[in-house]
Structure 1
Amino acid sequence: MSTSSSIGTTCQAASHAQPKSLAQQLIAATSKKARSAAILMLADGTVFYGRACGASGEVTGEVCFNTSLEGYFEVITDPSYAGQIVTMTYPQIGNYGVNVADTQMAPQYPQMYCGNLSPALRGLVVHDMCETPSNWRSEMSLPEYLEERNIVAIEGIDTRALVRHLRDNGSQKGILSTIDLDEKSLAAKLAEAPELVGTNLVQTVSCKEAYSYSYGRSMKSRAFAVQEPAPARRNVVVYDCGIKRGILDGLVNAGCAPTLVPWNTPASEVLKLQPDGVFLSNGPGDPDAVDATYSQVKKLLGKVPVFGICLGHQMISLACGGSIEKLKYGHRGGNQPVMNLLSGRVEVTAQNHGFNLVFPSLGELISEESGGVSKHPVSGDLRFWSERRIAPVVRNKRFGRIRLTHVNLNDGTCEGIQLLDAKAFSVQYHPEASPGPTDAHYLFTAFMRLMDGEEDYLNIDISKDRLAGWVFGSEEKEAHNA
């Protein structure tokens, strides 16, 4: 069995995971308390030892990492993390506790969702778990929440070494256990665990039947920071592929009245509702496995305005005949720079995805609409276009002209497209800031403008729009507009 060179330091944690009697007494007298040993093993044989800091148990899933400095509770409750063991790169997690109203699971989850009240992720990995939070909104500690919701978690490992390993070798299957510490036994179990690629995880987090959404307890608990939403003036059907509640709130804030439908709802049923627009939500797993959604999107494009976020972006891409690739370790965190090629603005964005559209697969470039360029960059790096401030257009066999609108400035991957001959656009990232920056709030406004029939709906001054809906931004916004 192979073991990475970084494990020498993490193996030292084994002695802490099984302390001597005196050490146990000392730990029991602190806020940390006495915790049982835990182990994380990756598919390539890399092993990390630590301490349990959540529920007792054993889980398998894809091990990935999130680079957000805050918002751990929103990350943990994001349905898009179904099937994954999430590593938080920030050293201490849980310091401001948990307010259950901040959950990103949709409000109808107990009645209409598959499963139970537990978050969809498989497990959590942190360096240091805070047992004694300090925050006036906190209702319980994070370890208490994890135990209550049966989420297995590990602390005390070198998360820097783990993240470096995943960056070098890619995200991979892992097994996290507090009940079996035998490496041979764990390796055998891990070999039998299913792969993420090819698995439809959307069906595990989508609603079972249609329902309407409106503000609930979550928004009331944040009235000190969030203004009342705009009056609803557009009826929007939402394909629920595991939607975050923050995205639903973003739609409501912009003036939408959302009706959520299951992930495999036929397009004919959606059109019977006579929506002003259709929204395609975020969601977990391999987009190629969600054919029951993108096959219906193909029937909706050109008939009704469509906006897609994250998995929804991939659904539009697949409906257009595009190819999706699995990224080496994905984009997960609240600090990803993206350029809007139409406005030239750079947004700091929140992201959570492991798959990405291969933009050239949508069609050949239209030279006269792509700055005179007739061939896609050989490297595949889309920063070619951001450096030249060009939003290139391809000719798609199914839906006419499609424009590249957003590019990731870290690695040059596609972050957004716009169908020019059908009313539709999509982005790969999360604009609702749950958690994350507010730079991309303008996309909900853009959706309203698309439904209103505006041509240049994506060209919005984000320095103004990012303050919309926030109480703390009112004075700054008034000063900006003066």
Structure 2
Amino acid sequence: MKGLLILENGARFEGDLLGTVEGLGELVFNTGMTGYQECFTDPSYEGQILTLTYPLIGNYGANDLFMQNRKPAAAGYVLDQIADHPSNWECKEKITDFIERYHVPCLYNVDTRAVTRMVRTQGVMKAIIVSADRSEEFIQAELAKPLHRDQVERVTTAYPYTYGNGKYQVSLLDCGLKKNILVSLAANDCTVHVFPAHTSAEELLAGNPDGIFLSPGPGDPKDVPYVVDTVKKLIGKRPIFGICLGIQMLATALGGHTFKLPFGHRGSNHPVKDLRTGRVYITSQNHGYAISDEGLPDSIVVTHRSVNDGTIEGIRHKTLPIQAVQYHPEASPGPKDNFYLFAEFTKAMEEFKK
């Protein structure tokens, strides 16, 4: 079935619709060459139509072992070529079967280079994936619908649970958790107690944890003021480590500000410089907002910056055991250069206990 990707600025891109499901979302792009299933199941894409710039998708198939969440989170996918005959020893099914099983809108055989150039020059924007035979009246009605802003509520866990069996007890606030964060913490001798996003500071501290972890997640940090209020109450009580949305909520809780990037950072090869050592790490990223340098509180030290655009990628508190990064050190998908950050977190918890 023929389909269309239609942007709010009027641009239209033709393709083939996989199945009959249509969708509305914020159009973004990711430049990773692998890790498409990890991207499809990353909760940070909730409410977004994800364009993959790499032209060959599905070459190694799909496998539930690669899932980063219990189901896909994105509002739709825009792809170039989809492999009909995947080949890999871990392949369990074709990526088309995976997408259709979860009823995610998907438009393929699209000129994703042109889509990416559009977003790269004009910024992220509202878009729809629809059947090519839809009337103009239907299209305009769909484009007129507002994008929802309750992304975190849609992806957080519905109930608390525990993962791992390590020495350090960690309370994790789930605003859009990826599975490999749990795996990485458990590999660093942590028992992780996962809590829904609405959990209070008192509940997070009730089990006398050794540390607090703030997860990644979708959307604008200004849309979760209740989480920021919780973080304010946690500051100084335990060592805190935050990733992606976690760093934005920490910075906001400490008096900083965030802003929306024109087209975001989404890919698995973003260079980030550790200002403490001068070393450049290759990182996996997925975020549309960043911490502003303007009005940055004196209590915050910037530890990492993006080599591409100079935006803040890591912070530490000057006197408290608080650290956070904007990128994804758990490497799903992406390089494994940054696993050391989890070891630094366990070291902070050990020193705090002493």
Give the structure-1-normalised TM-score.
0.71
Following superposition, the deviation at residue 179 of structure 1 comes to 6.9
Structure 2 distance, partners of 1:275, 1:412, is 35
Residue-by-residue CA offset, 1:186-228 (whole Å, 9 max, x unaligned):
1221112326xxx1310111012211013xxxxxxxxxxxxxx
Residue-by-residue CA offset, 1:129-160 (whole Å, 9 max, x unaligned):
11211111111100011111101101111110
Q: Indicate if the aligned counterparts of 2:4 and 2:132 stay in contact, CA closer than 8 A.
A: no
Alignment of 1:146 with 2:99, yes or no, is yes
Alignment of 1:96 with 2:60, yes or no, is yes
* Letter of the 1:75 counterpart: C
Q: Which residue of 2 aligns with 1:69?
A: 33
Alignment of 1:87 with 2:57, yes or no, is no
Alignment of 1:430 with 2:328, yes or no, is yes
Could you list the runs of 5+ residues in structure 2 that have no partner in the other structure? none
Structure 2 distance, partners of 1:146, 1:119, is 8
Q: Indicate if the aligned counterparts of 1:349 and 1:429 stay in contact, CA closer than 8 A.
A: yes
1:274–1:131 Cα change, 3 Å: same
Q: Which residue of 1 aligns with 2:11?
A: 46
After superposition, where does 1:406-425 map in structure 2 within 5 Å?
A: 406-425=304-323
* Letter of the 2:17 counterpart: A
Structure 2 distance, partners of 1:298, 1:357, is 17
Following superposition, the deviation at residue 279 of structure 1 comes to 0.2
- Which of these residues, 283, 289, 293, is aligned with residue 223 of structure 2? 289
Following superposition, the deviation at residue 261 of structure 1 comes to 0.4
Structure 2 distance, partners of 1:246, 1:183, is 43
Q: Indicate if the aligned counterparts of 2:26 and 2:147 stay in contact, CA closer than 8 A.
A: no
Structure 2 distance, partners of 1:95, 1:291, is 41
Q: Indicate if the aligned counterparts of 1:124 and 1:154 stay in contact, CA closer than 8 A.
A: yes
* Letter of the 1:128 counterpart: Q
Q: Which residue of 1 aligns with 2:178?
A: 244
Structure 2 distance, partners of 1:184, 1:361, is 46
* Letter of the 1:161 counterpart: A
Could you say what secondary structure the match of 1:192 adopts?
Answer: coil
Q: Indicate if the aligned counterparts of 1:38 and 1:50 stay in contact, CA closer than 8 A.
A: yes
Q: How many residue pairs were aligned?
A: 352
* Letter of the 1:44 counterpart: N
Alignment of 1:164 with 2:92, yes or no, is no
Q: Which residue of 2 aligns with 1:448?
A: 346
Could you say what secondary structure the match of 2:184 adopts?
Answer: helix
Residue-by-residue CA offset, 1:242-274 (whole Å, 9 max, x unaligned):
100011111111111000001011101111110
Q: Indicate if the aligned counterparts of 1:39 and 1:49 stay in contact, CA closer than 8 A.
A: yes
After superposition, where does 1:399-410 map in structure 2 within 5 Å?
A: 401-410=299-308
* Letter of the 2:13 counterpart: F
* Letter of the 1:213 counterpart: Y
Residue-by-residue CA offset, 1:38-79 (whole Å, 9 max, x unaligned):
1100010100011023x4211100000000000000000111
Residue-by-residue CA offset, 1:272-323 (whole Å, 9 max, x unaligned):
1100000000001111111111111001011100000000111101101211
Instruction: Point out which structure has higher relative CO (alpha carbons under 8 A, 6+ apart).
Output: 2
Alignment of 1:327 with 2:261, yes or no, is yes
Following superposition, the deviation at residue 167 of structure 1 comes to 0.5
- Which of these residues, 176, 188, 210, is aligned with residue 160 of structure 2? 210
Structure 2 distance, partners of 1:138, 1:178, is 30
Relative to total residues, which structure has the larger helix share, 1 or 2?
A: 1
Q: Indicate if the aligned counterparts of 1:338 and 1:415 stay in contact, CA closer than 8 A.
A: yes
Could you say what secondary structure the match of 1:269 adopts?
Answer: helix
After superposition, where does 1:209-358 map in structure 2 within 5 Å?
A: 209-214=159-164, 232-358=166-292
Could you say what secondary structure the match of 1:75 adopts?
Answer: helix
Structure 2 distance, partners of 1:345, 1:72, is 28
* Letter of the 1:446 counterpart: E
* Letter of the 2:107 counterpart: I
Structure 1 distance, partners of 2:215, 2:145, is 31
CA RMSD, Structure 1 to Structure 2 (Å) = 1.3
* Letter of the 1:169 counterpart: Q
User: Percent identity among equivalent residues?
Assistant: 43
Following superposition, the deviation at residue 91 of structure 1 comes to 0.6
* Letter of the 2:311 counterpart: T
Could you say what secondary structure the match of 2:302 adopts?
Answer: strand
Following superposition, the deviation at residue 182 of structure 1 comes to 3.1
Alignment of 1:119 with 2:72, yes or no, is yes
Q: Which residue of 2 aligns with 1:218?
A: none
Q: Which residue of 2 aligns with 1:27?
A: none
* Letter of the 2:158 counterpart: K
Structure 1 distance, partners of 2:228, 2:323, is 14
Structure 2 distance, partners of 1:119, 1:180, is 27
Q: Indicate if the aligned counterparts of 1:56 and 1:179 stay in contact, CA closer than 8 A.
A: no
* Letter of the 2:334 counterpart: G
Following superposition, the deviation at residue 180 of structure 1 comes to 4.8
Could you say what secondary structure the match of 2:213 adopts?
Answer: strand
Structure 2 distance, partners of 1:289, 1:184, is 31
Q: Indicate if the aligned counterparts of 2:248 and 2:290 stay in contact, CA closer than 8 A.
A: yes
Structure 2 distance, partners of 1:418, 1:272, is 25
1:40–1:453 Cα change, 3 Å: same
Q: Indicate if the aligned counterparts of 1:241 and 1:283 stay in contact, CA closer than 8 A.
A: yes
1:322–1:414 Cα change, 3 Å: same
* Letter of the 1:321 counterpart: G
* Runs of 4 or more above 6 Å deviation: none
Q: Which residue of 2 aligns with 1:131?
A: 84
Structure 1 distance, partners of 2:140, 2:256, is 37
